[in-house]
Amino acid sequence: MSGALALSGLVKRFGEEVAVDGLDLEIGEGEFFSLLGSSGCGKTTTLRMIAGFERPDEGRIQLDGADLAQVPPHKRPVNTVFQSYALFPFLDVHDNVAFGLRYQHTTKHEARRRVGAALDLVQMGSMAKRKPHQLSGGQQQRVALARALVLEPTVLLLDEPMGALDAKLRKQLQIELRSLQKTVGTTFVYVTHDQDEALTMSDRLAVLDKGRVKQVGTPSEVYSTPANIHVATFLGTTNLWDAHVIAADDAGMRCKVGSIELLVAGQDAESGDAVSVMVRPERVEVAASPNGVAGANVLQGRVDTLTFRGAHTNVVLECADLRIEAHVANVAGAPPPWLCEGAEVCVQVSPGALRVLTS
Ligand SMILES: Nc1ncnc2c1ncn2[C@@H]1O[C@H](COP(=O)(O)OP(=O)(O)OP(=O)(O)O)[C@@H](O)[C@H]1O
Ligand SMILES: [Mg+2]
């Protein structure tokens, strides 16, 4: 197997604008790797440099150890699936998929076998005779995928390929695409601004901002242990407070957050440092009464607002001068009776659920 990509010190400028600003990434063989970031952060530009449509101003792209700088786009073992599927309207599904094989020296028999296999892979074998206008958006998307996969690229680049699909279909295709990638073993570099998509599908992902990498990790690493404020706030929702460290030792960091003291696990900052403290809402525990609750960071709070969100209830709590958002799972289908607006409750956040961020 092959398909290991190394991007080092990549820079791309358009006039005054720096679209990609010193990007370093190592993407492993057969990995499903996502580039996640908001509009304009340089995702497409990065893919275009890997594909060879755009030349980097600085830096290097290596595939399996070989520098790609002198390799023209059509000679790179890389294919791209774009947001707009751009199927040929007058060709049927089979011929759309077969189109790219014209430039590879395959026999008719071999071409038919490969097109059939690619269509089966995306579950479109039964629609080979249809024209694109006779297909739904999701089906067209599958054909576009088959068209890229039939060429057996070492690396497949996907640029927001589900952007045009509705939420339900996206969810279904996310799961299909993920399992298809594991079947074929091709390295996928997947561009999206949708955090759910990146978390659902990726082996690892890079969070980009203004042409730079803010963090690389597995979905659970970047979600649960964000490296900085940008990543913490870009992915999911979070409580984030200005704080300063009163004391730091083996037991953790004692932080003053408003008028409250919280113990945070870890040793990321020193006594006196101005920091931010974060905790995800689902890691804030809310209980009816303090009876029997022991341990660090136990607070008295009052429920300010409750919002039913289906799987969980959004609870905004006032604990002295802190506003804390908690997500309470609706395990009984509805919030428990004691959890109502105005109720006095017990709030606990374990030191391991809190994080200190210094940048
Ligand atoms: N050909 C170009 N000429 C000038 N500026 C460009 C060109 N291509 C991209 N840019 C600029 O570079 C920056 C990065 O663009 P890019 O298309 O890589 O963003 P993106 O992360 O893919 O955004 P989106 O999520 O909106 O697709 C943007 O500010 C964009 O305006
Ligand atoms: Mg883009």
pLDDT in tens, 230-253: 999 999 999 999 999 999 999 899
Based on the structure, what is the number of domains in the chain?
Answer: 2
Picking from 209, 233, 257, the residue at the C-terminal end of a domain is 233
Residues 308 and 180 in one domain: no
Q: Cα of 193 to ligand 2 centre, how many Å?
A: 9
pLDDT in tens, 34-49: 999 999 999 999 999 9
pLDDT > 80? residue 129: yes
Residues 271 and 340 in one domain: yes
Residues 153 and 262 in one domain: no
Residues 223 and 290 in one domain: no
Percentage of residues in the chain with pLDDT exceeding 90? 75
pLDDT > 80? residue 83: no
337 vs 58: which has the higher pLDDT: 58
Picking from 200, 233, 266, the residue at the C-terminal end of a domain is 233
pLDDT > 70? residue 292: no
Q: Cα of 45 to ligand 1 centre, how many Å?
A: 6
Those residues whose C-beta lies under 8 Å from the C-beta of residue 40, and which sit 6 or more positions away, are none
Residues 135 and 178 in one domain: yes
Residue 170 pLDDT grade (very low, low, confident, very high; cuts 50, 70, 90): confident
Residues 225 and 244 in one domain: no
Closest Cα to residue 159, out of 44, 56, 328? 44
- Indicate which residue's Cα is closest to atom 17 of ligand 1: 44
Does residue 193 line the site of ligand 1, with CB under 6 A? yes
Instruction: From the CA of 208, give the closest atom in ligand 1.
Output: 21
Residues 124 and 151 in one domain: yes
Picking from 208, 233, 258, the residue at the C-terminal end of a domain is 233
Write the DSSP symbol of residue 282: G
Does residue 307 line the site of ligand 1, with CB under 6 A? no
Q: Cα of 44 to ligand 1 centre, how many Å?
A: 7
In angstroms, the CA 87 to CA 148 distance is: 11
Protein residues placing their CB within 5 Å of the ion ligand 2 = 44
- Indicate which residue's Cα is closest to atom 16 of ligand 1: 42
In angstroms, the CA 281 to CA 353 distance is: 10
Residue 276 pLDDT grade (very low, low, confident, very high; cuts 50, 70, 90): very high
Segment 316-345 mean pLDDT = 93
Which range has the worst mean pLDDT, 115-124, 186-195, 259-268, 346-355? 115-124
- Indicate which residue's Cα is closest to atom 1 of ligand 1: 14
Q: Cα of 351 to ligand 2 centre, how many Å?
A: 39
pLDDT > 80? residue 117: yes
Residues 228 and 241 in one domain: no
| Residue/partner pairs of 62-65 with CB below 8 Å, 24 or more apart | 62/5, 62/6, 62/8, 63/2, 63/3, 63/4, 63/5, 63/154, 63/155, 64/2, 64/3, 64/4, 64/154, 65/4
CATH of the domain at 301: 2.40.50.100
Residues 189 and 243 in one domain: no
Does residue 44 line the site of ligand 1, with CB under 6 A? yes
Question: Candidates 44, 159, 208: which one to mutate for ligand 1, based on the most atoms within 8 Å of Cβ?
Answer: 44
Instruction: From the CA of 193, give the closest atom in ligand 1.
Output: 25
Residues 224 and 249 in one domain: no
Write the DSSP symbol of residue 288: S
Residues 175 and 318 in one domain: no
- Indicate which residue's Cα is closest to atom 19 of ligand 1: 40
Residues 36 and 130 in one domain: yes
pLDDT in tens, 195-205: 999 999 999 99
Average pLDDT across the chain, whole number: 92
C-beta of residue 150 within 8 angstroms of C-beta of residue 101 = yes
Q: Is 178 helix (H, G, I), strand (E, B) or coil?
A: helix
pLDDT > 90? residue 105: no
DSSP per-residue codes, 110-163: HHHHHHHHHHHHTT-GGGTT--GGGS-HHHHHHHHHHHHHTT--SEEEEESTTT
Does residue 70 line the site of ligand 1, with CB under 6 A? no
Domain of 317?
237-357
CATH of the domain at 89: 3.40.50.300
